[in-house]
Structure 1
Amino acid sequence: MSVDSTTTTQGTAHRNMTSGQMAWYRFTRNPAAMIGAFIVISVIVAAIFAPFLAPSPQSAGSFVDFRNRHTAPNAEFWFGTDNVGRDIFSRVLFGYRVSLGMVIGVLGFAVPFGVVLGLAAGYFGGWIEFAIMRFTDVMLAIPPLAMALAITAVLSPNLINAMIAITMLWWTWHTRLIYRIVKAQMSEDYVEAAKVAGASHTHIMFRELLPNCVSAISVKISLDAGFVILFGAALSFLGLGVQPPTPDLGTMVSTGSEYLPEYWWEALMPGLAILYAILGFNLLGDGLRDMMDVEV
């Protein structure tokens, strides 16, 4: 078969694809996106099945083994052990549970809240738009880490309060994203047709406009997940997030940094685990953005 005929056959096959099939084709042909998907899936699997995958599940608690404290990485302890002899690899697996729990908690509230405000501002306009967007601008002007530090300093440092601190500002990005999309869609014919047909405001907002925002929301969530993990780890590193003995990646890096450079693995291994998860979500988000051809 000649090169021309092969190209023609591939072009015909592409033309016969639905939009969904074409998007999936682009995604699977993107090596970075596939690597990102693999990393994200591996992190999720590690978090869900941590009790079964961890060589030393008891290391996730107050377990101590002073005979093996500060043991360098070896065949038995892949990531080495910490200052009280706990297996770092096991604690990393359980630490992913905490990180993903924070992602679900923060985005589970921030995304719906931000989406609703963005829809209302873009659809109604007028004083509603002014009030919502100016309040959003004010919240965006506050440095996120400073806000989180202030909240967690006032409240007792724990996982729930760390999630509250991050959520307080995270909704703003989704509000601005949805507002921008809705404003661009308001002049489209399908919106005018829905109004002429007598559709309610709720119907137009959630049944007509929202479906056109789903692609952008999906990409934004994937990109946000990595930043939430990093932000949560930063709070824990500063002692304002998850508290010991709960295995948290940021706390593990903070504790391990006290023993640098001699016991380098105690800070490096949890740090690489954070990098691994963030890299996966960012690559996946970039792949979804290319697949759906959206801007966030």
Structure 2
Amino acid sequence: MTDATSVSQPRRLSNADQNWYRFTRNPTALIGAGIVILCILAAIFAPFITPYPEHVGAVVDFRSRHLPPSADYWFGTDNVGRDIFSRTIFGMRISLLLAVVVLGIAVPVGTILGLVAGYFGGWVDIIIMRITDIALAIPALVMALAVAAVLSPDLINAMLAIAGLWWTWHARLIYAITRQLRSQEFVEAAETLGAGKMHILFREILPNCVSALAVKTSLDCGFVIIVGASLSFLGLGIQPPTPDLGTMVASGSDFLPDYWWESVLPGCAILFVALGFILLGDGLRDLFDVEEIR
């Protein structure tokens, strides 16, 4: 007779394995991740995959101006004869860099302020959250326009202008989660055992906020790219001849509808990149069972 204890039991999947399995069965998340990875790889290897990388700079070829999409110029050429496809791929670099820097500033600032306000409460809560409420009352795009108009329009100032108010959304999100978690048993147990405040904030509460932060950050990447393109469209972002998707849409709009590709195709690139991050965020929200994030 076979000993029951000797029968090998099936290996129990870890949480990471379960999450990966669920992620690979989520079409929305897979499509979003595929788009994001494709855009990142295209931006990294832009000098090697674009047919005319020299057209990124101040190149003029009036003999090739306003050419429609073709085998030689996949997205056509602009009003000075530069290849729009090459400039679009390099423009993705600017958009992705903008999102990384803005959220690299906004997420840590908002997370720390939300943790502190939610855990300590009292006058700390009042001061931090009232400042957050005031900042939330100002539309991010309006503030970005004001800052970019006062300062010289360039990439650095565009990043600072957008990051100046973007932290508020993350502060409000982490504040709400921390308020719920601070009365949980594992937090009370850590306090009873004499754990320090920093240990409780960053070792007990923060790990339970990671899933919501991942979803929010992914969704925000798409919106930051759109806001950055809006600034450039209005002439307050990246300045020519540096390729930027918003600037290319604005320049091409002067020649609509005859030369539609000069504006429409860079605009489709903005949509493509932003859609990838938004789909990825929706997929992560379903994966982590995170409630609706506004």
Superposition TM-score tier, normalisation by shorter sequence: over 0.9
Report what 2:186 is aligned to: 190
**Alignment partner of 1:265 is 2:261:** yes
Q: Give distance in 2, aligned partners of 1:22 and 1:105.
A: 32
Extract structure 1 runs of 4+ deviating beyond 3 A. none
Map residues 27-176 of structure 1 onto 2, 5 A cutoff.
27-176=23-172
Map residues 202-241 of structure 1 onto 2, 5 A cutoff.
202-241=198-237
**Alignment partner of 1:279 is 2:275:** yes
For the residue of structure 1 that corresponds to 2:153, the secondary structure is: coil
- Give the AA of the match of 1:273: A
Map residues 17-32 of structure 1 onto 2, 5 A cutoff.
17-32=13-28
Q: Give distance in 2, aligned partners of 1:270 and 1:60.
A: 14
- Considering only aligned residues, what root-mean-square deviation do their CA atoms show, in Å? 1.2
Report what 2:4 is aligned to: none
For the residue of structure 2 that corresponds to 1:111, the secondary structure is: helix
Please report how far the alpha carbon of residue 16 of structure 1 lies from its aligned counterpart in structure 2 after TM superposition: 3.5
Please report how far the alpha carbon of residue 18 of structure 1 lies from its aligned counterpart in structure 2 after TM superposition: 2.4
Name stretches of at least 5 consecutive residues in structure 2 with no aligned partner. 1-8
TM-score (normalizing by structure 1): 0.94
Please report how far the alpha carbon of residue 124 of structure 1 lies from its aligned counterpart in structure 2 after TM superposition: 0.4
Q: Deviations over 1:199-235 (max 9, x none)?
A: 1111110111111111111111100000000000000
Q: Deviations over 1:46-73 (max 9, x none)?
A: 1100111110001111011111000000
Q: Give distance in 2, aligned partners of 1:42 and 1:98.
A: 15
- Give the AA of the match of 2:263: A
For the residue of structure 2 that corresponds to 1:163, the secondary structure is: helix
Q: Give distance in 2, aligned partners of 1:18 and 1:143.
A: 43
- Give the AA of the match of 2:232: S
Percent identity for Structure 1 against Structure 2:
64
Q: Give distance in 2, aligned partners of 1:18 and 1:104.
A: 30
Please report how far the alpha carbon of residue 20 of structure 1 lies from its aligned counterpart in structure 2 after TM superposition: 2.1
For the residue of structure 2 that corresponds to 1:62, the secondary structure is: coil
Name stretches of at least 5 consecutive residues in structure 1 with no aligned partner. 1-11
**Alignment size in residue pairs:** 284
For the residue of structure 1 that corresponds to 2:60, the secondary structure is: coil
Please report how far the alpha carbon of residue 294 of structure 1 lies from its aligned counterpart in structure 2 after TM superposition: 1.2
Report what 1:6 is aligned to: none
**Alignment partner of 1:242 is 2:233:** no
Please report how far the alpha carbon of residue 122 of structure 1 lies from its aligned counterpart in structure 2 after TM superposition: 0.5
Q: Deviations over 1:162-188 (max 9, x none)?
A: 111100110000000000111000111
Q: Give distance in 2, aligned partners of 1:17 and 1:198.
A: 34
- Give the AA of the match of 2:75: F
- Give the AA of the match of 2:202: F
Does the aligned pair in 2 maintain the 1:80–1:89 contact within 8 Å?
yes
Does the aligned pair in 2 maintain the 1:24–1:291 contact within 8 Å?
no
TM-score (normalizing by structure 2): 0.95
